[in-house]
Amino acid sequence: MKIAAAILLALAVFSPGANADCVKDQYGKVVCGNGQCETDSYRKVYCAKVGGGAVKDKYGSVKCGVGNCARDSYLEVWCSTEPGGGAAVDLYGKVKCLGGCTEGSADLCEEGK
């Protein structure tokens, strides 16, 4: 019985829905996506796919990635190349990513629903 409970707990924690995100849009409506969501400068919601990140760039546009994203010291968005992979900024303002970094892209974003 304990094993079954542990398996159910693990499935709940690691299920794709666990990465879903919700934010409020420009009308105050709650909008959700499969991955991380972010509002652009007009408060329109864009979301990454499952396991991905969404971050606003220096112009207020949302950029998404396969993995998590972060802004460097120039406010450029960089994302992990691995789904669910981490991204963080080092002491020098450079983004470091699990599996390597790639530039965030609006093409990888989906409109929040």
Report the 3 state secondary structure along 53-101: EEEECCCCCEEEECCCEEECCCCCEEEECCCCCCEEECCCCCEEECCCE
What's the confidence (pLDDT) of residue 9? 35
What's the confidence (pLDDT) of residue 14? 38
Which region holds residue 62: left if phi is over 0, alpha if psi is between -120 and 50, else beta?
beta
Average per-residue pLDDT in the chain? 87
Amino acid at site 24: K
Partner residues linked to 23 by β-bridges: 31
Higher pLDDT, 10 or 111: 111
Q: How far apart are the first and last CA of the chain?
A: 39
What's the confidence (pLDDT) of residue 19? 58
